[in-house]
Amino acid sequence: MDSDETLHVLPDGDRVWVIKTSTAAGLLPQMLDRFRLGHQDPLIFGDTGEPEGVVVPFELWRALDTRVFDEDGFDTTYTIARARLADPRPSIPIEQVAAELGIDLSQPVDDSDLPKS
């Protein structure tokens, strides 16, 4: 009997569980409930045991889509900051936010374009 899940090794060595498409379809309502609770882990599916599709929360998809076309990173930073401010859960450390935004806190900030007081 075939399993509904297959462990797949990616070229970089990471491993992901791939769920059969027919099984994934039945899990969509549960995934939506998880997304509503703030979980962001994806549902990876395919018919051949290899990843062919993925379901992620809409806001995560928007952030990824924006990042593809946002050369300066402003839109992505704004979207992430806005989502964080709207989140009722406890605050997270600034180091974690910086890492998520790709900011190195040990580097000086270029403020040459800001008005001098």
Q: pLDDT, tens digit, for every residue of 58-106?
A: 988 887 877 666 666 677 777 778 887 888 877 778 888 888 888 888 8
Pair 14, 45 in one domain: yes
- Which of residues 40 and 102 earns the better pLDDT score? 40
**Nearest Cα to Cα of residue 8 among 55, 40, 50, 46:** 50
Q: Are residues 42 and 73 in the same domain?
A: no
Average pLDDT value for residue range 27-52: 94
| pLDDT score at 88 | 82
How many Cα atoms are found within 13 Å in the side-chain-facing hemisphere of 36?
A: 6
Same domain? For 33 and 62 the reply is: no
Average pLDDT of the chain is 85
- Which has more confidence, 10 or 69? 10
**Distance (Å, whole) CA 9 – CA 48:** 13
Same domain, 14 and 47: yes
43: in domain: yes
Both 37 and 76 in one domain: the answer is: no
What range does the domain containing 26 cover? 5-55
Instruction: Determine the pLDDT at residue 50.
Output: 93
Number of domains in the chain: 2
- pLDDT score at 1: 44
Domain shared by 31 and 46, yes or no: yes
Instruction: Tell me the three state secondary structure of residue 115.
Output: coil
Report pLDDT for 97: 82
Together in a domain, 42 and 78: no
19 and 41 in a common domain? yes
